[in-house]
Structure formats: C-alpha cells, structure tokens
Amino acid sequence: MPKTESEETVARLAAELADARAEIAALRQALHAQGQEPDDVVARTQAERALRETAEHLAFLVNAAPGVTYTCRASGDFGATFVSDGVLAQLGYTARDFIEDPGFWASHLHPDDALRVFAEIGPLFVHDRITHEYRFRCADGAYRWMLDQVRLLRDADGQPTGMIGSWTDITDHKRVEYALAQSEARNRAMTESAHDAFLTSDSAGILVGWNRGAEAIFGYAESEILGQPMTLLMPSRFHDPHRAGVARVAAGGPDHVLGRVVELYGLRKDGSEFPLELSLAKWASAGGWFFTGIVRDITERKRAEDERAKLQLQLEQARKLESVGRLAGGVAHDFNNMLSVILGHAELALEEVHASTPLHQDLEEIRLAAKRSADLTRQLLTFARQEAVAPKLLDLNATVTGMLSMLRRLIGEDLDLECRPAARLWPVHVDPSHIDQILANLCVNARDAMLAGGKLTVETGHRTFDADDCSARVGAVPGDYVRLTVADDGAGMDTATQQRIFEPFFTTKATGKGTGLGLATVYGIVQQNQGIIDVRSAPGRGTVFDVYLPRQAPRTDQKPPDRLTAPAPRGQETILLVEDEAAILALTKRMLEQMGYRVLAAGRPSEAMRLAAEHPGELDLLVTDVIMPEMNGRDLARKIESSRPRVKCLFVSGYSADFLGTQGALGAGVSLLHKPFSKDDLAAKIRQVLDVA
C-alpha cells in the first residue's frame, strides 16, 4: 500500500536524524583512532545542535501537515508519545491530553466501535499497517468520524518499537455516504413496494435492475432475469425498433420514448402478451449510462375502457332507438287518427251499399286496407312502447306450446322446429299477444336466414341477473327472469349488422321483401315489459335470440271479472263527445247518433265545459280524447264530474294506458277505447261503460 505524504515526510526526517547520529558517532570513532580526544563539551554541543535542528525541522513539518500525526506505544494501552498540533483544531484537545493520560484515546472511542477497533489492531503486527474508520468523541462532546492510517515501527531486529499514524476527519464524507445509503435504501424500499415494474438496463440493453413489481408483472425472478437482454420482455415485433432506439440514443440522437409515457405490449414468462404503459429515462454514472423504465400493467384499464366503449355504444344505440321510437309513436298516433276516419267512413258507406254491387267490394277493400294499416301502426306503437296492452299472468310454456302449430305453418315444412320447455317455469305478467308477436317475428327472421333448410329451436328456461350482469346491459335491473330463446343455424350476422338489427325499417332483405319492423317490434315489446334481449351471432354460425321477461309471483287475490250486460247496438242516453280532430269528431258523432244516442259534440275542452253547464237535462256519458289542447281528458273529466257527479267516462286515445299514465293523464281503473276503432267496437264499449252499476 503506498505511503501518504505525511508518512513519507516523517520517515524522511527520521532518516535524516539517524544519519546525523551516525555522522557524530563516526566522527568520534575517527578521532579516537588518530589518538585525538575531542573536547567533550564541544562535541556534545555540536551533536545536540544537530539533533535539535533536525527535531525542530521534523516537528515543524509534522505540525504543519494536514490532519493529525501521532506516535504511540506498540503494546499495553497504546498510549500516545507524540501528537501533532492539528489535534486542537480537529478534535478540540491538546497533545498533552493524549500524552499525559495513556488511556485517553481508548476512552474516547465510540462504545459501538471500540471492540471492532481493538480487533482491527491485531493484523497490524502481521502486515505492519492498517487503515480503519471509527467515531471519536471530541472536546465538544460530539462524535466525529476519523480515518486512522497506522504503520508499525520496528528496530533492526524486527521487534516492534512503536506505531506512527495519522487521523483525517471524514465526518462530512460519512454524512454524504450515509445520506446516499439512506436515499438508496429509501428508493429500494419504494421500488420494492411498488406495484409497477422498475427496470434498469445498461447501454447495451442488458437488464441490471429488477424489483418485485417487475417479478409480479412479468413472472421472472430477479435471479433469472438479471443479465438477460431487455428484448426478452418484448414481443418479437418490437425487437428491431427497440434495438434501433438504443443505438440512436447511444449515438447521441433523440428518441421519441424518452421523457414520455407510451403504450406498448409486454411479454410475460408464460408467453402471453399484455398492454403496458412505459415511462423511460436515461441517466449516467461512473460505469456508463443506463436506462430506467417504469412499467405499468394496464390490462384491467384497457378492459374497463373496452367495457366503457361497449356501454357507450349500447347507450347511444338505446338513445337512438328511443328517439326513433318517439318519432314512430308520434307518427303512428297521428296515423291512427286518419285510419279511424277512413275505417269509420268505410263502414258507414258499406251499410248504405248493397253487397252485390262493385262499389261494395271497393269499400270492403278500403276497410281491409285500413285494418292492415292499423296492424302496421300497432307494430310501430309496440316498438315505441305506446301500444295498448292487456297483461295477464302467463305460463310461458303453455303459450309457446299453443303457438307451435301456427309456427310450423309459418316457417314451412323444410325447417325442423324443436321445442324445449323447461320444467317448473316461473310465471310472467305479459300480454299474450306480445308473446305471439315475439315468436312470430323471431321465427320468420330465422326462416329467412335458413334458405337451404336447417333447424329452429324454441326453448324456455330461468336466469337470475346480478348487478354485474346488468352493468353491461343498459336499463337492466337485477332479479329473476324467464328466458325465451329462439335459435337457428342459418347464415348468421356480422357485428355491424347486429348493431342495427333493432332499428325500425332496417333490413338486410331485398326491397319489397321486408318492412324492417319485425325485430324493432320485438325490441319494443321487451322494453315495454321491462325485459332484456340478447343476441349472439356470427357469419355462418347461426343466430341466437334470448328474451328475458321478469318473473312474476303468482297472485292469490285475483277476483273473477264483473259480469257485464251484453253490448246493445243502440241506446237513448245523452253523450258529451270531446275530440280535437274535426274529422274524427264528425264521424264519431254520426256513428253515435245512428245508434240512437243524443250527442253534444265539442272540439275543445273549454267548449265541452260550456255545453255541460248549459245542458238542462241529464248527462249520462263523457266520451273524450285524452291528449288535447288546453287540458287533458282526465282533468276535463274531473271538472265536469264536480258539477255532474253521476256522469260516467270513456276515454279514447291512440296511446296506451301505460304511456298515458306516465304523462299523468290517466289513473288506474279507467275505461279506455283505442284508436282506430270500428262502429261495433264503439257500440260495445259504450254499452259496457253505461251498463256497469
């Protein structure tokens, strides 16, 4: 080990002192050989002067040297025999403190360091020098770190005669070292506790740093990954871009990844790929430059984003269908008014024309066309959830079984129809005609998808939806449902088609082959009954429609329906008729008068209240439209009932009772006649209302 500057100075001065002593001894020996005896006083004086000059020279250099230089005994308590003046500035003590108290040095060692320090002195007698560090208590009571470099002195026979050494205050260096160690420990703790992966690679792309988060994400233990290339963690398609980026940065060029958060794909130990988020930094040290990357597994986030996008698409689809449904419902309502006029006048005309005349046949065609148009309008209202319904407690198995013969005729003999009813099926509360429409539309749709023949399966069953199931279905409510499945092995549909199949008037059939209302009608029925509809399909793999209707608990408090008087074709009562559509008002007034009723006709609610107030006799029945200007039919009925409490009410509308209820127009238990209606429908409904006690 090379000597320090102060050690070399002390050694050189010691050699000069030895040379001076040797020179004096040689001079005496020479004089004695010549028979000359020097004057003892002169010789002693010269020798002491030389010695003193050398000692002063040595002391000056030692005391002027940085740090503290000392000599001490090589045995016993290792007491100091010399301490340089630097000890005062460095430790706050004087040399006398050390020299006069042989145990001074040992007693001021830090208790935690003392045993180690004495143990480290032992090798000094083997290797002649040691360097060690320890804490020493200064005069102000504080401990400071000392770097102690010690050399053993031996005589001509090799026996230890003492020790010479130097102290250097390294407290500031130790503080920096401690702070660095704390920082490294803190950083290590942070990286080890992080869920993200912390990776470090050298300039050649070899991994040199790895934390527990990286082990959890990639599946490699630290012992098996360090020293491996970074490309081991990447799909092969990223290898060349990675190498190019490393080479570009190594040459001092820019890299688009540094300083940014980018999304890539990683490769786990098991060979599976996963999406990740990477933040990369470059840094330099004495060993060269390195890359440190923070990798976050974003698999769950991507899955959530995909699910959010799917829900957003479903929501947009639902909003679009709702918007189109409102439009369709409004158009259908207005169309129903016109159909009422056409159908009513056709029926009145038919009564005036003999059945054998061509005109009678023409009028019958008009009536039939109006009824077919009414059926089409009913489909629009079903889609818009505005159709009038009469829900009942149903056993879906019985309803489906009763439809089988009709379905077989509907789909043709070249298709195999199989029914799979589930045992002990829960009841549902739904209009039977809705089940008929669902089955008819879905089976016809399946038939058209199996032009070359195939198998059609109708199946029932149960299912319970929890919150997770409903989260992916807009408007779905957790609970028990009865399942109605219609499956075919036909052509199937792609994703783009599936996203549009419930839109009204959307069809993949040739022009004139379909209205595009079949599946829209099914969708409207399901929504109207607070149900759920799922579709699974792929090109060439057929299609499966699953319709879920809410389970209904069986009712034990049902009462038998009231017996009504048979409808009479004629009557003599007074009826107040209110209708804001002039054509319907005139037609209905004419029909009622032909039945024998006395009719007070009003085109607006205010006119109806005036007629009710001015009429001197009894007012037996109020027949009123529901949605009108000024006020709705229900409010009008309340006002008239306040002055004529015995009057009965019949409401007429092209909307359903459910829809009218949501508009606040009707309450429960009211009598409602739906447009378009025939003369016989009107006559029967009026007698039904008037004849109830």
Q: For 281-296, write each residue's pLDDT tens digit.
A: 887 776 678 888 888 8
Q: What is d(CA 589, CA 599) in angstroms, rounded to the nearest whole number?
A: 6
The whole-number pLDDT of residue 460 equals 94
pTM listed for this prediction: 0.40
Q: What is the 3-state secondary structure (H, E, C) of 668-687?
A: CCCCEEECCCCHHHHHHHHH
pLDDT in tens, 473-498: 777 889 999 999 999 988 888 888 88
Which is nearest to 527 in space by CA: 247, 261, 329, 262? 329
Helix-helix angle 518-528:358-383, to 10 degrees = 50
Contact between 259 and 281 (Cβ < 8 Å) = yes
Which is nearest to 220 in space by CA: 8, 212, 645? 212
**Cα torsion 53, 54, 58, 64: sign:** positive
Q: Could you tell me the domains of the chain?
A: 5-170 (3.30.450.20), 194-297 (3.30.450.20), 302-377 (no CATH), 392-550 (3.30.565.10), 574-690 (3.40.50.2300)
Side chain identity, residue 456: L
Distances in Å between the Cα of 441 and the Cα atoms of 373, 437, 444, 517, 573 are 18, 6, 5, 9, 44
Helix (H) or strand (E) holding 119: helix 111-121
Order of strands, edge to edge, in the sheet holding 574-578?
A: 598-602, 574-578, 621-625, 648-653, 672-674
The whole-number pLDDT of residue 253 equals 61
Q: What is d(CA 432, CA 394) in angstroms, rounded to the nearest whole number?
A: 8
The whole-number pLDDT of residue 550 equals 93
Q: What is d(CA 449, CA 493) in angstroms, rounded to the nearest whole number?
A: 9
Q: What is d(CA 92, CA 114) in angstroms, rounded to the nearest whole number?
A: 21
Comparing 43 with 69, which gets the higher pLDDT? 69
pLDDT in tens, 146-184: 999 999 888 888 888 888 888 888 888 888 887 777 776
**Cα torsion 296, 299, 300, 303: sign:** positive
Per the listing, tokens 């360090």 go with 226
**Diameter over CA atoms, the chain:** 185
* Three-class DSSP category at 278: strand
Q: What is d(CA 298, CA 281) in angstroms, rounded to the nearest whole number?
A: 20
pLDDT in tens, 427-443: 999 887 788 888 888 88
pLDDT in tens, 183-238: 766 766 666 666 788 888 888 889 998 888 888 899 999 899 999 998 899 998 88
Burial class (CB in 10 A: 0-12, 13-18, 19+), 539: exposed
pLDDT (average), residues 451-455:
81
Mean pLDDT (the chain, rounded)? 80
Q: What is the DSSP letter of 542?
A: -
pLDDT in tens, 241-268: 878 877 776 666 656 566 678 888 999 9
User: Which residues contact residue 661 at a Cβ distance below 8 angstroms, ignoring those fewer than 6 apart?
Assistant: 667, 668
Q: Tell me the residue ranges of DSSP E strands in 74-233.
A: 80-83, 129-137, 143-154, 160-169, 197-202, 207-210
pLDDT (average), residues 388-392:
66
The whole-number pLDDT of residue 32 equals 66
DSSP 423-473: TTPPPEEE-HHHHHHHHHHHHHHHHHH-TT-EEEEEEEEEEEE-HHHHHTS
Count other C-beta atoms under 10 Å from residue 10's C-beta.
Answer: 23
Helix-helix angle 605-614:633-643, to 10 degrees = 10
562 pLDDT tier (thresholds 50, 70, 90): very low
Q: Tell me the residue ranges of DSSP E strands in 194-351.
A: 197-202, 207-210, 261-267, 273-285, 288-297
Comparing 368 with 130, which gets the higher pLDDT? 130
The whole-number pLDDT of residue 6 equals 52
User: Which residues contact residue 506 at a Cβ distance below 8 angstroms, ignoring those fewer than 6 apart?
Assistant: 500, 516, 520
